[in-house]
Amino acid sequence: MIYRKLKEYAPERLAFAAIGIVLAFLAALLSIASYYMLYRFLVKIIADGDIRGAVPAAFRIAALLVANTAVYFLSLWATHALGFRLETNLKKLGIRRLMQASFSFYDRNDSGRIRKIIDDNTVLTHMSVAHLIPDLSTAVFVPVLGAALAFAVDVKLGVLFLVTLLLGLYFIQRMMGDRQFMKRYMEAQETMNAGAVEYVRGIHVLKIFRMNAESLREFHRAVLAYSDLALRYSMSCRRWYVVFQVFFNAVYLTAMFFYSVRNGEPREFLAKFMFYVMFHGILFISFMKVMYVGMYLFQANSAIGKIETLFREMEEKKLPRGTAEKMDSFDIEFRDVTFSYGEERVIENLSLTLPAGRSYALVGSSGSGKTTLAKLISGFYQTDGGEIRIGGRALSEYSDGAFARNIANVFQDARLFQDTIYENVRAGRRSASREEVMEALHLAQCDEILGKFAGREETVIGSEGVHLSGGEMQRITIARAILKNAGIVILDEASAAADPENEYELQRALANLMKGRTVIMIAHRLSSIRNVDEILVIENGRVAERGSHGELMRGDTRYRRLQEEFMRANEWRVRGEAAPAAQAL
């Protein structure tokens, strides 16, 4: 399958495959020619006793071997050029697909598995093309040409060569084992490698709690499963591999000796015997190549299958895009919307309208559907039913560019690139001037942050000596959103990372960001939403209540009960009676 995919994934270098095969054939021809000259060399020395006449044959052998090495190197060069291009194209395609993948894809796949499939599996496809095209060609051409040479030297040698070839193929097939076993082995390896990535990423937590790999049960179980399969697979191949080695290194050479010693001129037999002892090795090498070719070819086919399966998963529940580049207004409307995460129904038959230019807060208990609503507005997921409209048009009518320009998201977990503060902000709108970037930093209350560093806005985030608190990082992301100048702003717990020192500056930055825009705010800190235009209480994926803070605080409402619970939580303190116990410890 991997070779059929070359035309699809590396069409610009497809001719290199044919060049590699032709050069591999020439290398095989030169190799067989060198063995023929070896036979002539042995006949001259042993049968004819003509040492002087053997010298030209020795030089021809050396010349043919040098030519064989050079041509085979060129074959490898051609296939490596193709293999690296295939790996590069697959990696580039994987990155592009990741950028376009639906958010449900990231919900279903951890980062370790994604990295393993895109990174490691593309390397396997490169190996199959770069090494296996010449190796497989050699493994095919050498035995065919070798059989012709064996028959040319002696019919009995030719028959022996063919019998050895057929039995060798049988042993190889038995050594390869069950293909389903190999499939399970590779799946276990993939699971273990993905778990290893997550293990390394969480190593700081393990160190804090003095835990080891056994504490991560799934990872520990994956390691044990892989080691068990690796051992079982090795043991299943052991017997036939030993038979294969013994067969090629002893049995048939001994049989040939006892068969030939009674036939013909001893000197002629000795020349043929010595020739076959050396010539027989090319068949062994060819079979070893076939064995490794089969293993790597299976891995490469499995790899390309996994990559394409991953690409298909990226397209699942992906919101279709249209051609509309401009949003005429920023009214948001849900029309009978239904959405599920797998089998779990989160939103059902929801209809609501959010007029443009107003600020809205979504509140409710965890799992009520607040963040899901915000993600649906952003076009991160495709609904199971109904439709969402912005500016009178369905989301599916807008292009990716329209979403990127008109919707800004500020999440609780601020993510910044390892680049300068200036470039991190300019990422919001690449066409912005320096003055616009600096104004956005000013509106986001970042002047104090810039003053901490000698390089100011040219300071590289993540470099030595550069440390930003969660609130400071959040202000920089707010500056990026301000520069973007989007008509819709979605704030998902944007102030949760603020410490007391940053709280005031962060609230001022958010106020500047929200001016004149349609704002969707998700917050568990209910004290931060009292001044929004409208509050929507979300419960089980539905709007249970809706109104301003003053309206919802009148009467026995769900919102009032949420506020009371919030106040009780804020007033909670560790009781003084616990102090003596603490001192006793």
Give mean pLDDT in consecutive 10-residue pieces for the chain, a chain of 585 residues.
72 86 91 90 85 88 93 91 86 84 74 74 76 81 88 83 83 70 71 68 62 63 79 77 77 59 68 80 79 71 79 76 83 88 81 87 80 84 86 86 84 77 86 87 85 82 67 83 86 65 73 83 74 84 83 81 74 50 37
CB burial string 432-454: b at 16+ within 10 A, e below: beeebbbebbebbbbeebbeebe
Which residue in 307, 402, 406, 337 sits closest to 8, CA to CA? 307
pLDDT of residue 37: 92
The residues near 38 (Cβ < 8 Å, ≥ 6 apart) are: 57, 61, 275, 278, 279
Joined together, the tokens standing for residue 450 give: 């810039």
Query: Quick one: residue 408, left, alpha or beta (phi over 0 = left, psi -120 to 50 = alpha)?
Result: beta
Q: Residue 334 in contact with residue 386, Cβ under 8 Å? A: yes
Q: Residue 181 in contact with residue 174, Cβ under 8 Å? A: no
pLDDT of residue 498: 57
Using alpha carbons, list the distances in angstroms from residue 330 to 407, 432, 558: 10, 23, 29
pLDDT of residue 577: 45
Supply the pTM of this predicted model.
0.66
pLDDT of residue 580: 42
Joined together, the tokens standing for residue 77 give: 């060069």
Which sequence spans correspond to the domains of the chain? 2-177+256-315, 332-571
Q: Residue 263 in contact with residue 269, Cβ under 8 Å? A: yes
Asked if the 332-571 domain carries CATH number 3.10.180.10, the reply is: no
Q: How far apart are CA 283 and CA 281, in angstroms?
A: 5
* Total residues found in the chain within this entry: 585
Query: Quick one: residue 318, left, alpha or beta (phi over 0 = left, psi -120 to 50 = alpha)?
Result: beta
Q: Residue 199 in contact with residue 213, Cβ under 8 Å? A: yes
Token pair 């970042």 is found at 446
Q: Residue 371 in contact with residue 339, Cβ under 8 Å? A: no
SS (H, E, C) 517-554: CEEEEECCCHHHCCCCCEEEEEECCEEEEEECHHHHHC
Q: For residue 408, give the H/E element and its range.
A: strand 407-411
Query: Quick one: residue 89, left, alpha or beta (phi over 0 = left, psi -120 to 50 = alpha)?
Result: alpha
**Please, what CATH class does the domain formed by 2-177+256-315 belong to?**
mainly alpha
Q: How far apart are CA 445 and CA 477, in angstroms?
A: 11
Tell me how many helices (H) and strands (E) the chain has: 23, 10
Q: For residue 303, give the H/E element and its range.
A: helix 266-315
